[in-house]
Structure 1
Amino acid sequence: MKKIIKKTESKIDLIQYEVKEKFGLFDKVIIYPYRGYGNQNRAVIHGRILEKEPIIHEENDLPDSFWTNLKKTWKRYESDEIPGVSLKGELYGYEAHCTSDNEGYFFMEFNDLESTSLVNGWHEVKLEITDMPFDLEYDSTATGEILICEQQNPFGVISDVDDTIIVSDAMHSIKRIITMISNDAPSRTPFEGVSELYHKLIHHNKNPLFFVSGSSYNLYDMLISFCNHHDIPKAPFILRDLGIDKDQWIRQDSEPYKVSNIEKIFEMYPRLEFILIGDSGQHDPEIYFKIYKKYPDRIKAIYIRHVHTEERRNEVLSLSKQVDVPFLLMDNSQMAIDHAKENGWIY
């Protein structure tokens, strides 16, 4: 059934491209890079080739109103991707090449890096379209960013997003949809103390931070703006794709997706331990427990924000007794700050 729907979707997309191309209905196409990450020898970055939506992809002074946010939400999920686009990337003279897939996503990997410029912090990547398979107007270049960690410090941080740093009502589908439509980045609510906690943990990018979330890449711009607005440290967002693919049905399952991407981060930074931060609302405790069982020497601590029922609290507390590393069920960010200070991880 998946193959039939996938094949049908591809045919519909092809017809759509041909019709829009014939009648000049395409908006300008852009490279939309997501933040990447790497070490001193290897780095990865990915993104998407999309039609440009000014309300999403440009700075604007539109009011944070219901109707503006409704339009933004619609445009985020109604995005028009461009497949088969060839790209070149350059990082301090090193080149990499790739092609966008059927959903417009591209993945670029730089290997055998020996640049002394790759120190802790953010580094620019020049991206360029080298072949466009459709007769479209497009911006041929864009600049991406990669977070480099030298692994000289003791740990990194991997965090969830919904109900971990941002109040999302993830357990209540209707509330979550209303919140998403009614509020954009400035009016979304962070949990108190999140900015202080994460800034102290990463210590000026010496300890890398990664957001691995079940949220969709369609919300990427909002999440970036949210963190900027609320002074939450800059970090790569590793999110999920919405769509139909050979490995997914509408969207990837949360647990295997999160486990897989946490393992990729572990592979990139084999000398680091990690503090895992999530919430009790969904499956973060079980996912992090699974990671701990497989990589007990890579987990420094687990912090879970309690956002659910007392029954769920007891479940998480029971799980915490099965690990030999600090496992904190926190009611607020200050509890995590105090715990990290007590252990000498922050100052």
Structure 2
Amino acid sequence: MLNILILFFYVSSSEWNLYDYLVSTFSFNQLPEGSFLLNQIKRWKDLLKTGKTGHEGKLMRIMRIIDAFPNQKFILFGDNSQRDTEIYTTIAIKYPESIEAIYIRNIRQEKQDAALDLLRKAEEKGIHTCLFKDSKEAMSHAVRIGLIGI
């Protein structure tokens, strides 16, 4: 029997003051428990920058996780509302042997073409990608590539 350990890392540009809310939301929606890696709470003088600087930190936190678990495969989930597609493609190019798949929820139709262009770069590295609107599409893709069984 094959033992597989699945760890969940939830890396977000959100700040730590949302931690309790996130844990409650994940529990309510029956999402797997995992480690949250969030941004530091900003100082008063930095409040006007909220949402502007967290994405570089997200990239660095994900790269630290991959560096800490060099023999693991990762599946990256995000959406195309901000910079997830760009961040994940950058990671895929740097760590192609560590990334099994990238899943991006298409919530901003006007960003669909840009997301597809970026995902093609990951596909060129042999990484499975899926831009989806509905979770059923992502699940079907995961079954098709062998990530989950029926």
TM-score bracket relative to the smaller structure: 0.7 to 0.9
Tell me how far 1:279 sits from its aligned partner. 0.1
User: 1:329 is paired with a residue of what secondary structure?
Assistant: strand
Tell me how far 1:298 sits from its aligned partner. 1.1
For 2:90 and 2:146, the matched residues in 1 are separated by 26
- When the two chains are superposed, the root-mean-square deviation of aligned CA atoms in Å is 2.0
User: 1:208 is paired with a residue of what secondary structure?
Assistant: coil
> Which residue in the other structure is 1:240 paired with?
39
For 1:295 and 1:267, the matched residues in 2 are separated by 9
Tell me how far 1:249 sits from its aligned partner. 4.2
For 1:249 and 1:264, the matched residues in 2 are separated by 25
Cα distance 1:296–1:249, how it changes in 2: closer, same or farther (>3 A)? farther
Output aligned runs, 1:202-213, within 5 Å: 206-213=5-12
CA-to-aligned-CA distance 1:105-160 (integer Å, 9 cap, x gap): xxxxxxxxxxxxxxxxxxxxxxxxxxxxxxxxxxxxxxxxxxxxxxx64xxxxxxx
> Which residue in the other structure is 2:112 paired with?
313
> Which residue in the other structure is 1:326 paired with?
128
How many residues align structurally?
141
1:335 aligns with 2:134: no
Output aligned runs, 1:86-165, within 5 Å: 153=4
For 2:56 and 2:46, the matched residues in 1 are separated by 13
CA-to-aligned-CA distance 1:210-245 (integer Å, 9 cap, x gap): 11001111111111111111211111111111224x
> Which residue in the other structure is 1:285 paired with?
85
Output aligned runs, 1:220-299, within 5 Å: 220-244=19-43, 249-250=46-47, 253-299=53-99
User: 1:323 is paired with a residue of what secondary structure?
Assistant: helix
User: 2:10 is paired with a residue of what secondary structure?
Assistant: strand
Tell me how far 1:276 sits from its aligned partner. 0.5
Tell me how far 1:254 sits from its aligned partner. 2.2
Aligned AA for 2:13?
A: G
User: 1:334 is paired with a residue of what secondary structure?
Assistant: helix
Aligned AA for 1:227?
A: F
Given that 2:11 and 2:61 are in contact with CA atoms closer than 8 Å, whether structure 1 keeps it comes out as yes
Aligned AA for 2:118?
A: L
User: 1:321 is paired with a residue of what secondary structure?
Assistant: helix
For 2:121 and 2:67, the matched residues in 1 are separated by 25
For 1:314 and 1:320, the matched residues in 2 are separated by 10
Aligned AA for 2:128?
A: P
> Which residue in the other structure is 2:147 paired with?
345
Q: TM-score w.r.t. structure 1 length?
A: 0.39
User: 1:225 is paired with a residue of what secondary structure?
Assistant: helix
Gaps of at least 5 residues in structure 2 are none
Q: TM-score w.r.t. structure 2 length?
A: 0.86
User: 2:81 is paired with a residue of what secondary structure?
Assistant: coil
Runs of 4+ in 1 over 2 A off after TM superposition: 248-252
Gaps of at least 5 residues in structure 1 are 1-151, 154-205
- Percent of aligned positions with the same letter in both sequences? 34
CA-to-aligned-CA distance 1:160-213 (integer Å, 9 cap, x gap): xxxxxxxxxxxxxxxxxxxxxxxxxxxxxxxxxxxxxxxxxxxxxx21111100
For 1:321 and 1:237, the matched residues in 2 are separated by 29
Aligned AA for 1:233?
A: P
For 1:290 and 1:312, the matched residues in 2 are separated by 17
User: 1:231 is paired with a residue of what secondary structure?
Assistant: coil
Structure with greater strand percent:
1
